């Protein structure tokens, strides 16, 4: 067994593309090796600022001999067809094999040297590599993410000859561009390769670079009794920018600490790639930062840190300018500017959207325990900060800056003119509005916090429901993996808010209210004409409800719930996601027990009998109740009596939203149903008796289906 080493060395690869590129390199290599019938024990890939590396271990020196089975003509085909097949394969008539009425020629194929196959695999893989963007360099038509400079391609210690573009393979690689710019390094295997790179100031594995950054940053902070502010996204990016990352502590002008912490952190992260630093005692930002260099400065980093501090000061001066200028215009006054910003060509301006959110948030307020006046104010102001200079400079601070400005304006602090929205509101009410403006985008991802304050919940739901309803109304729905407007994320956000806050919310009613807002403000005349038709509105309502059902299935499945149970509950027409989730939880627990499994079996038996009877004699089945049998087995009477009581108790439990209690009531049916099927002949020769017993089974089915459609439950 031997090892294959491949390094694709280029100019700087964008950090955001490195991780996926390494995954693609490994995935495509595995598929290509399997297609070539080359066995291996392991495949591992690495990515860095200037190189993609692949190492495959446990490869044979030669491909295994194999038999190629080539299909020929059908048995009984004309002699000319058979003769032609024999000539093309070079086999005798007696060597053909007949399988399923067709002739096959089994041709021995000796295995090829692995090195030859690796050359072909490498050439094909590199030429078709799926970069999101690529470029050509020189006169070659070959495309790569950045100009490709070197190909290290070694199998079993020997160079695998390939030429891609104008670059030929070798057993050479390079170390750090600045710290160890010596001659190329000759390598023969992965162990030597990784060690040689480390000696030349290159850490190959991104995980090791991240660990070096994290530990180094914490160490330099500890020298001054400070604490690093964690930022996983920045850590991932910096690991893709430096081959030999070296964290250093820099000093920031303390005067800038009067800016909002989010502004300072965003400026550091977005523009300069710095980590923020805080005081562990107060958790407030400290006037320092951590910069990660790609070298080890000879002076310990003093000059480099000082230079970075000057650049940061310039950036923060810009932020301070925007902070002060933004406070000269109230949020109410900014609403007029939203008239000039198009949200979507077919859904109107941001001003129209803000008004729709205002109205919908006010109507949703009572359902989430919020004050309608505060919800309306927060909904109206939610998008106002999109016209501020700060959000123009830092788009990721949308909402956050609106929250700051609303709080300052509501309390008449700073340079703000008085805002009409805050007239008569006390400090707590102002804070509720400001918090809602700040957090109404949440949750923006699966790991993001879910808002819990009632006013925020009302505005967050209104924002997401307006987005979803609007794009469904103009038929801009997600298709396949494409979701340009983030509708799946918005739906999941609604689901998380509802389930986390245990909010009873009818989806169809909420969608109808959002549609009313669109009809009144936002849709163009043609779209409004279409949506004014009841059928069109029903199609949007049901399409969006089904979309939520799919998202809810995915969300509950992630929590370990079964999607068939979601289908069984949704089939009842319930569109309250909290109710559905609770029913699914109760149903899941019920079916895990012996009573649930036995009742499900009895339910299916009853349904199968009813289906068979419907096909055989539907008119007779429907004649149930036309007479009364003179002799009734006690098991039949017992089932009828307990069904009557259980049906009433199930309805009462469902009325209290006590789904576990409803399951407990259903469990009471298990013994009489088992006894009924054991002792009673359903298909009695007497048609009246048979009709009555079929009616009884219908009642068993319908009673169970009040909780969920058991016919949709698998297993």
- Residue 405 sits in the same domain as residue 483: yes
Q: Give the Cβ contact number of residue 317 at 10 Å.
A: 11
Residue 294 lies in a domain: yes
Tell me which DSSP letter residue 506 carries: B
Tell me, rounded to whole angstroms, the distance of Cα 473 from its chain centroid.
24
What CA–CA distance (Å, rounded) separates 108 from 69? 9
- Residue 124 sits in the same domain as residue 94: no
Using left for φ > 0, alpha for ψ between -120 and 50, and beta otherwise, residue 283 falls in left
Q: What Cα–Cα distance (Å) separates residue 249 from each residue in 68, 199, 228, 442?
A: 65, 25, 10, 33
How many domains is the chain partitioned into structurally? 5
Q: What is the pLDDT of residue 252?
A: 94
Residue 580 lies in a domain: no
In the block, residue with structure tokens 């600022």: 49
- Residue 268 sits in the same domain as residue 285: yes
Torsional sign, CA 309, 312, 314, 317: negative
Torsional sign, CA 535, 547, 508, 399: negative
SS3 call for 215: helix
What CA–CA distance (Å, rounded) separates 273 from 271? 6
Q: What is the pLDDT of residue 623?
A: 44
Interstrand relation of 163-164 and 158-159 (parallel, antiparallel or unpaired): unpaired
Q: For 656-693, how does the pLDDT look when each residue is reduced to its tens digit (9 = 90+)?
A: 888 888 888 888 888 888 888 888 888 888 888 888 88
- Residue 283 sits in the same domain as residue 356: no
Separation of first and last alpha carbons in the chain: 46
- Residue 238 sits in the same domain as residue 149: no
Q: Is 437 exposed, middle or buried (0-12, 13-18, 19+ CB in 10 A)?
A: buried
Residue 578 lies in a domain: no
Q: What is the pLDDT of residue 610?
A: 82
- Residue 619 sits in the same domain as residue 544: no
Residue 577 lies in a domain: no
Residue 425 lies in a domain: yes
Long-range pairs, 258-266, Cβ under 8 A, ≥24? 259/316, 259/319, 259/320, 259/323, 260/323, 260/400, 260/401, 260/404, 261/285, 262/397, 262/400, 263/319, 263/323, 263/390, 263/394, 263/397, 263/401, 264/316, 264/319, 265/229, 265/231, 266/394, 266/396, 266/397
- Residue 534 sits in the same domain as residue 556: yes
Q: For the chain, which residues score pLDDT lower than 70?
A: 414-415, 417-419, 614-631, 715
Give which of 174, 234, 195, 170 is closest to 51, Cα–Cα: 174
Give the torsion through C-alpha atoms of 417, 419, 424, 429, to 10 deg: -110
CB contact at 8 A, 184 and 171: no
221 φ, ψ (degrees, to nearest 5): -70, -40
- Residue 382 sits in the same domain as residue 514: yes
- Residue 142 sits in the same domain as residue 252: no
- Residue 463 sits in the same domain as residue 494: yes
Q: What is the pLDDT of residue 629?
A: 47
Tell me which DSSP letter residue 113 carries: B
- Residue 7 sits in the same domain as residue 152: yes
Give the side-chain half-sphere CA count within 13 A for 539: 12
What CA–CA distance (Å, rounded) separates 317 from 320? 5
CB contact at 8 A, 404 and 260: yes
Q: Give, for 349, the enclosing helix (H) or strand (E).
A: strand 348-349
Among candidate residues 309, 326, 343, the one where a domain is terminated: 326
- Residue 493 sits in the same domain as residue 620: no
SS3 call for 46: strand
Structure tokens that stand for 364 in this block: 């949703």
Give the torsion through C-alpha atoms of 300, 303, 305, 307, to 10 deg: -160
Q: Give, for 403, the enclosing helix (H) or strand (E).
A: helix 400-410
Q: Give the Cβ contact number of residue 500 at 10 Å.
A: 15
Q: For 270-300, how does the pLDDT look when each residue is reduced to its tens digit (9 = 90+)?
A: 989 999 999 999 999 999 999 999 999 888 7
78 φ, ψ (degrees, to nearest 5): -55, 150
Interstrand relation of 102-109 and 66-74 (parallel, antiparallel or unpaired): antiparallel
Q: Give, for 286, the enclosing helix (H) or strand (E).
A: strand 285-293
Residue 579 lies in a domain: no
Structure tokens that stand for 126 in this block: 């590199």
> Residues 685-701, buried b or exposed e (16+ Cβ, 10 A)?
eeebbbbbbbbbbbbbb
Q: What is the pLDDT of residue 622?
A: 44
362 φ, ψ (degrees, to nearest 5): -65, -40
CB contact at 8 A, 39 and 189: no
Residue 566 lies in a domain: no
Residue 675 lies in a domain: yes
Among candidate residues 281, 310, 326, the one where a domain is terminated: 326
> For residue 443, is the peptide bond before it cis, meaning its omega torsion is within 30 degrees of 0?
yes
The pTM of the full predicted model, rounded to 2 decimals, is: 0.80
Long-range pairs, 119-124, Cβ under 8 A, ≥24? 119/153, 119/160, 119/161, 119/162, 121/29, 121/32, 121/33, 121/36, 122/6, 122/151, 122/153, 122/160, 122/162, 122/164, 122/169, 123/162, 123/164, 124/32
Give which of 503, 492, 494 is closest to 370, Cα–Cα: 503
Range of the domain at 97: 66-109
Tell me which DSSP letter residue 479 carries: B
Q: What is the CATH number of the domain that holds 96?
A: 3.30.70
């Amino acid at each position: 067994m031997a090892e294959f080493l491949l390094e694709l060395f280029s100019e700087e690869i964008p950090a955001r593309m490195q991780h996926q590129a390494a995954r693609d390199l490994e995935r495509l290599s595995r598929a290509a090796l399997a297609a070539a019938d080359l066995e291996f024990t392991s495949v591992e890939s690495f990515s860095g600022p200037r190189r993609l590396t692949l190492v495959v271990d446990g490869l044979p020196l030669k491909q295994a001999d194999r038999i190629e089975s080539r299909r020929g003509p059908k048995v009984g085909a004309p002699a000319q067809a058979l003769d032609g097949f024999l000539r093309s394969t070079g086999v005798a008539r007696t060597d053909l094999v007949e399988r399923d009425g067709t002739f096959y020629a089994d041709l021995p194929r000796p295995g090829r040297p692995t090195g030859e196959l690796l050359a072909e695999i490498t050439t094909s893989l590199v030429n078709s590599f799926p970069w999101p963007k690529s470029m050509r360099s020189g006169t070659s038509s070959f495309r790569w993410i950045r100009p490709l400079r070197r190909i290290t391609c070694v199998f079993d210690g020997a160079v695998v000859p390939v030429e891609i573009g104008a670059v030929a393979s070798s057993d050479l690689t390079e170390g750090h561009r600045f710290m160890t710019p010596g001659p190329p390094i000759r390598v023969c295997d992965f162990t030597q390769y990784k060690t040689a790179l480390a000696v030349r100031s290159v850490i190959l594995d991104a995980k090791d670079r991240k660990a070096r950054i994290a530990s180094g940053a914490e160490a330099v902070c500890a020298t001054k009794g400070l604490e690093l502010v964690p930022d996983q996204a920045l850590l991932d990016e910096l690991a893709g920018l430096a081959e030999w990352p070296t964290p250093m502590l820099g000093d920031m002008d303390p005067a800038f600490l009067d800016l909002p912490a989010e502004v300072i952190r965003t400026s550091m992260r977005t523009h300069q790639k710095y980590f923020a630093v805080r005081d562990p005692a107060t958790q407030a930002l400290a006037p320092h930062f951590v910069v990660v260099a790609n070298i080890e400065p000879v002076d310990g980093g003093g000059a480099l840190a000082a230079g970075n501090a000057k650049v940061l000061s310039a950036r923060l001066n810009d932020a301070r300018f925007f902070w002060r200028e933004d406070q000269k215009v109230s949020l109410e006054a900014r609403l007029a500017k939203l008239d000039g910003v198009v949200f979507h060509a077919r859904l109107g301006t941001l001003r129209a959207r803000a008004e729709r959110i205002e109205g919908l948030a006010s109507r949703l307020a009572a359902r989430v325990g919020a004050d309608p006046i505060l919800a309306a104010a927060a909904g109206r102001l939610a998008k106002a900060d999109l016209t501020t200079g700060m959000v123009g400079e830092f788009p990721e601070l949308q909402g956050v800056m609106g929250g700051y400005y609303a709080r300052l304006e509501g309390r008449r602090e700073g340079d703000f003119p008085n805002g009409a929205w805050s007239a008569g509101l006390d400090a707590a009410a102002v804070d509720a509005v400001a918090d809602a403006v700040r957090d109404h985008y949440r949750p923006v991802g699966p790991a993001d916090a879910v808002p819990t304050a009632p006013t925020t919940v009302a505005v967050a739901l209104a924002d997401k429901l307006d987005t979803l309803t609007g794009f469904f109304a103009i038929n801009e729905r997600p298709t396949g993996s494409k979701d340009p407007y983030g509708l799946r994320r918005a739906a999941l956000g609604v689901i998380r808010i509802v389930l986390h806050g245990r909010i009873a919310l009818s989806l169809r009613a909420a969608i109808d209210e959002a549609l009313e807002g669109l009809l009144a403000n936002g849709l163009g005349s043609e779209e409004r004409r279409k949506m004014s038709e009841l059928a069109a509105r029903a199609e949007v309502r049901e399409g969006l409800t089904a979309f939520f059902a799919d998202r809810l299935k995915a969300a509950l499945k992630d929590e370990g719930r079964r999607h068939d149970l979601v289908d069984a509950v949704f089939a009842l027409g319930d569109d309250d996601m909290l109710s559905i989730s609770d029913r699914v939880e109760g149903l899941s627990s019920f079916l895990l027990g012996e009573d649930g499994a036995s009742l499900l079996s009895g339910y299916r038996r009853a349904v199968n009998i009813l289906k068979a009877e419907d096909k055989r004699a539907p008119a007779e089945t429907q004649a149930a109740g036309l007479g009364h049998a003179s002799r009734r087995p006690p098991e039949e009477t017992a089932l009828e009596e307990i069904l009557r009581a259980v049906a009433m108790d199930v309805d009462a439990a469902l009325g209290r939203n006590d789904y576990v209690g409803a399951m407990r009531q259903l469990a009471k049916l298990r013994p009489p149903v088992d006894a009924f099927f054991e002792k009673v002949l359903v298909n009695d020769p007497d048609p009246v008796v048979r009709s009555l017993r079929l009616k009884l089974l219908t009642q068993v089915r319908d009673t169970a289906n009040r909780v969920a459609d058991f016919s949709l439950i698998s297993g």
